[in-house]
A and B are shown apart, each in its own frame.
Chain A
Amino acid sequence: MTAPALRRSATHPFWQAVGILVIAYIVVVWVVPLLPGSAIVPKSVVLQYMVTVLVGVLIYVSDNEERWARFKEPIEAVLAEPRLRVVRAVLLVVVTALVGLVAYGQVATTVAAPPNLRSIHPAPPAEITFRGRSITLTGLENPLRAHPESLALYLAEGKGVYYRNCLPCHGDHLDGQGHFASGFNPLPANFQDNGTIAQLTESFVFWRVAKGGPGLPREGTPWNSAMPKWEDFLTEREIWSVILFLYDQTGWTPRTWEKTGTGDGGRGTGHD
């Protein structure tokens, strides 16, 4: 292709549209994973991004009469013009093959587990039974934080609890990369990630530690986590101290409870 022809193509809406789609695909599939600390983008998200870009491209080529007419030119030409018979035939074969391929991909059996959605942060119950005692989770703070003077002691205790119990799965760096981690689905939580404990109240973490995988509501399935029910092995204080340790070590601050306003007309929020 000569330089002027290339330039003409670059200003033609049809080839612009194709170009934008190709570039977007390259960016999402190959460039994003190259960024520091990044990883491959799941297929579902690639599809979602590409559909959004496609809609944008279609809007671009059709929001102006002249551009829309030019955009349609090559398509109409391929469909109708006699001199493009070969292109038409090739296109027909390629499109048919593509549809077949997609259909095959949908029905072919694979050994991989199907994609699944677990709700990482299922809604916690308002109260739980911890070793036969009721604990109200709503509005609950870490009781150990009420004694700032002995915080260092609690942290040391929490550290011990962590290294005795949590290390094999959650790892030395608290990043969910323990020795056994690769054997689990779902993977152990990565506390360093900004999407786990950084988003949660300490009472939520307490609930998850105390009740473990068996205590997950159904929205946390299909595959229940292998996290044990730690209330059978740890005391309440040990759990609170290990939570203290998690936040201290990762540098996250726990989510705090919203200040409940004093409402009128029985909009009671604080009392219950």
Chain B
Amino acid sequence: MTDGALLLQAAADSTRAYGEFPVIGARAFIWITAEVHLMFAAFVLGVPMFAVVTEAIGIFGGDERYDRLSKEFTRLLLVAYSATAIWGAMLVFGLSTLYPRFWAYLTAIFAPSMWAYAALFLVESFTLYLYYYGWDRWKKGRAKLGHWTLGILLNLWGTIVMFIANSWLTYMMSPPRDITPTTDPTTIKLWHAIANATWMPINVHRVIANVVFGGAIVGAYASYRFLAAQSDEERAHYDWMGYVGNFIAMSALIVLPFAGYWLGREIYQYDQSMGITMMGGFMSWLWVIQAFLIAVLFLTGNYYLWIGMGRIPGAERFRPYTKYLLIVLVLGAIVWGTPHTMIADSKELAAMGGSHHPFLGALGVMSAKNTAVNLMILTTFLSFLLYRRANTRPVVPWARGGTIIQGAMFALAAGVVLFYGIRGYFVEAIVRIGFSVYQVLAVLSCIVFVTVIDVLMARGAQSLGTIQWGKMPPRSQYALFILAVTFTWLMGLMGFARSGIRQYWHVWQVMQDTSKYAATPALGYASKMISLCVLIFLTLVAFVFWLGGLAEKSTFVASGERQGGGRHVGH
């Protein structure tokens, strides 16, 4: 051991290792501040992506509605930014006063990256100010493109900031293997610590999840405005906005499991026992809850689309088929939710001969679950396709053939998924894991090719009437709320999973948690904490939205005034 390490050890021993927070305790304080900070951070990273994409659609598509939508959200960002910073500051103060020894360790390794983080946050804030306040100034031509570039920069800074923060927490989870409890933290190379095994998977996973989250929150905002709307026109505007938010959230959600799969694989590769703790150990029930939430997302998302068909002339052609999609989704949800180890009393256990059901147990293993979720993704995609097609009748000469090819692609993808799902039962685990890659590839390529065909086929398609935006029953809007709450809760749950698999380590197998909070709590306690965090976050977001409404009632512009010059008029 080097002298430096000895000195550090001495310093560490002479400082207090843990502090205590009144009433709720140190861990609960860190939990709440970290989670709410993270939710706001996801919001301020997800919404700019949303804003830049919608602004681009406005610029290149020529539809001014998108531009206003984009601006409306950037306005909300201003307040959300300070909320993020406030909760971040609370987290840092919490860490340095409640976990001083751990915080000292982390700063010893990551100090330079923390300075970079702070600097980038500053740059990001100023980019945001320019982006928002320059909106009406740089409105035309080249200036508009420059303005859009600002939006891209905003996203770039935000993403780098997130990557830096991710490196700290992924280091806690998967420190490089050559770092041991006796390694002097000051000798650890910064980049070595940053580029740890789970850093990139987490980065990618979070970027996608932020898009989902941004879309979901936008959807909830729009649905609230829809319910509160006074006129049909305003209702139409917010109905449309809710649809766009939901569309973006659901599209990104479809790719999210693949990123999650990569992360899981990296965790297994890094440390098999960590992987087993995550999937099969005391956390295995967490995945049943997660399965339930994902089933809720799929069902609610499709539900919203199907109700939405009510406002589309021509959709009645596809209505009879949605019930078959529903059947697939419900069966998928049943398989996806079947636990491997069932809760049963002693009589049931005796009848089953253990806690694996001799027949249904076959649905509890990975092969069945992968098959179920892939089929659910395909079904949801088909729902979208029908929704898209509902309003039009293709006029290209090969329309009939194209539709048959699309159908064949769906059948092929479903066939591949089922084939490998069933075959997975007859091969050993190592081969089975590889099968899920084939299933994913089949589904993804089906989505890509079918979409390409669909876009080509939609050229010059004949419209069957204008979509009657706003003609939606209130329950569709409540569905959007459920989506937003579920996404947020799911985020809290996955955060608990990621952080909980470290168990009694601050830094996995490097720095042990010796506080009285070392044990990872049971799911019941965790769920209460998650609900509390979601409630705090949603209350604050509602406040932010309300503030936005105070300044300017809405971006909705009545058609008469729009022709007059397109200025924002308050209601």
Direct A–B contact in the complex, CB atoms closer than 8 angstroms:
yes
Q: How far is the CB of B540 from chain A (nearest CB, A)?
A: 30
**Which B residues are CB-close (under 8 A) to A187?**
349-350, 353-354
Q: Tell me the smallest distance from the CB of B194 to a CB of chain A, in Å.
A: 9
The reply to whether the CB of B438 lies closer than 8 angstroms to some CB of chain A is no
The residue of chain A having its C-beta at the shortest distance from the C-beta of B432 within the complex is A255
* A39-B282 in contact (CB<8A): no
Contact A190 B354 (CB under 8 A): yes
B337-A42 in contact (CB<8A)? no
Give the residue of A52, A195, A265, A268 whose beta carbon is less than 8 angstroms from that of B337: A52
Distance of A219 Cα from B522 Cα, bound (Å)? 11
The interface residues of chain B lying within 8 Å CB-to-CB of A56 are 299, 326-327, 329-330, 333
Q: Which residue of chain A lies nearest to B346 when distances are taken between CB atoms in the complex?
A: A113
When the two chains form their complex, are residues A260 and B269 in contact, meaning their CB atoms are under 8 A apart? yes
B357 at the interface (CB under 8 A from A): yes
How would residues 237 to 272 of chain A score, 1 for a CB under 8 Å from any chain B CB and 0 otherwise?
000000000000000011111101101111111011
Contact A258 B342 (CB under 8 A): no
Shortest beta-carbon distance from B332 to chain A in Å: 10
Q: Does A26 contact B (CB under 8 A)?
A: no
B277 in contact (CB, < 8 A): yes
Which among A49, A117, A196, A260 has the highest number of chain B CB atoms within 10 Å? A117
A39 touches B191 (CB 8 A): no
A252 CB to nearest chain B CB (Å): 9
Q: How far is B503's CA from A122's CA once the two chains are assembled, in angstroms? A: 14
Once bound together, how far apart are the Cα atoms of A261 and B266, in whole Å?
10
Cβ–Cβ contact A258 & B273, under 8 A: no
Q: Mark B265-279, 1 if CB is under 8 A from A, else 0.
A: 000111111101100
CA distance A112 to B307 in the complex (A): 47
Residues of A within 8 A of B356 (CB): 120, 193, 195-196
* Max chain B Cβ within 10 angstroms of own Cβ: one of A68, A219, A261: A219
Given A112-B346, A268-B176, A256–B429 Cβ distance below 8 Å?
yes
Note all chain A residues with C-beta closer than 8 A to B349.
Answer: 185-187
Q: How many A-B residue pairs have CB under 8 A?
A: 208
Contact residues of A between 41 and 66, Cβ < 8 Å to B: 41-45, 48-49, 52-53, 55-56, 59-60, 62-65
The reply on A89 being an interface residue by CB < 8 A is no
How many positions in chain A have a CB within 8 Å of any CB in the partner chain? 74
CB contact under 8 A between A52 and B333, given known A45-B339, A269-B270: yes
Instruction: Tell me if B543 counts as interface (CB < 8 A to partner A).
Output: no
Q: Is A40 part of the binding interface, using a Cβ–Cβ cutoff of 8 Å? A: yes
B303 touching A42 by the CB < 8 A rule?
Answer: no
Asked if A267 contacts B339 (CB within 8 A), the reply is: no
Instruction: Determine whether the beta carbon of B343 is less than 8 Å from that of A59.
Output: no
Chain B residue nearest to A139 (CB atoms) is B272
Nearest-neighbor residue (CB-CB) of B362 within chain A: A194
The answer to whether B176 touches A118, judged by C-beta atoms less than 8 angstroms apart, is no
In the complex, are the beta carbons of A49 and B334 less than 8 A apart?
A: yes
Task: Produce 1/0 per residue, B249-289, CB < 8 A to A.
Answer: 00000000000000000001111111011001110110000
Question: In the complex, A60→B323 CA distance in Å?
Answer: 7
CA gap between A199 and B427 in the complex, in Å: 11
Q: Cβ of B195 and Cβ of A42 under 8 Å apart? A: no
Contact: A42 with B191, CB < 8 Å? Answer: no
A176–B191 Cα distance when bound, in Å, is 52
Indicate if the CB atoms of B359 and A44 lie closer than 8 Å.
no
Q: Flag whether B345 is at the interface (Cβ < 8 A).
A: yes
Residue in A115, A196, A257 whose CB lies within 8 Å of B272: A257
A268 touching B272 by the CB < 8 A rule? no
Residues of B within 8 A of A32 (CB): 359-360
Asked if A65 and B310 make an inter-chain contact with CB atoms under 8 angstroms apart, the answer reads yes
Give the chain A neighbours of B433 by CB distance below 8 A: 258
Name the contact of A117 in the complex, choosing from B269, B277, B343, B428 (C-beta under 8 A): B343
Q: Decide: B197 and A263 in contact? CB cutoff 8 A.
A: yes
Given contacts A117-B341, A187-B354, A267-B176, contact A112 B282 (CB under 8 A): no
Q: Is A96 an interface position by the 8 A CB rule?
A: no
Cα–Cα, bound, A167→B191 (Å): 56
Whether, in the assembled complex, A121 has its beta carbon less than 8 Å from a beta carbon of chain B, the answer is yes
* Residues on A with beta carbons closer than 8 Å to the beta carbon of B345: 42-43, 112-115
Contact of B280 among A42, A119, A185 (CB under 8 A): A119
Contact between A35 and B177, CB atoms less than 8 A apart: no
* B551 touches A (CB below 8 Å): no
B306 near A63 (CB under 8 angstroms)?
yes
CB distance from B507 to the nearest CB of A (A): 15
**B residues 173-197 in Cβ contact with A at 8 Å:** 176-178, 191-192, 195-197
With A45-B342, A267-B197, A268-B176 as contacts: A122 and B281 at CB distance below 8 Å: yes
When A65-B310, A113-B345 are in contact, do A42 and B361 touch as well, CB less than 8 Å? no
Which of the residues A48, A119, A267 comes within 8 Å of B341, measured between beta carbons?
A119
| Residue B430 CB within 8 A of the other chain | yes
Pairwise interchain contact B197-A115, C-beta atoms closer than 8 A: no
Judge whether B347 and A38 touch: CB under 8 Å: no
A131 to chain B, nearest CB (A): 22
B373-432, CB < 8 A from A: 425, 428-430
- Enumerate the 6 nearest inter-chain pairs by beta-carbon distance, A residue then B residue, closest first: A38-B359, A265-B195, A56-B330, A42-B344, A219-B282, A266-B176
Known: A45-B360, A64-B306, A267-B270. 15 other contacts (CB 8 A): A38-B357, A39-B353, A39-B357, A64-B319, A112-B345, A112-B346, A120-B354, A121-B281, A122-B281, A123-B273, A126-B273, A187-B353, A199-B365, A255-B430, A271-B178
The interface of chain A, by Cβ under 8 A from chain B, is 32, 35, 37-45, 48-49, 52-53, 55-56, 59-60, 62-65, 68, 112-126, 138-139, 175-177, 182, 185-187, 189-190, 193-196, 199, 218-219, 253-258, 260-261, 263-269, 271-272
Pick 11 A–B contacts, CB within 8 A, sort by A: A42-B343, A43-B345, A64-B307, A68-B473, A117-B285, A119-B281, A122-B282, A195-B340, A218-B282, A258-B272, A268-B177
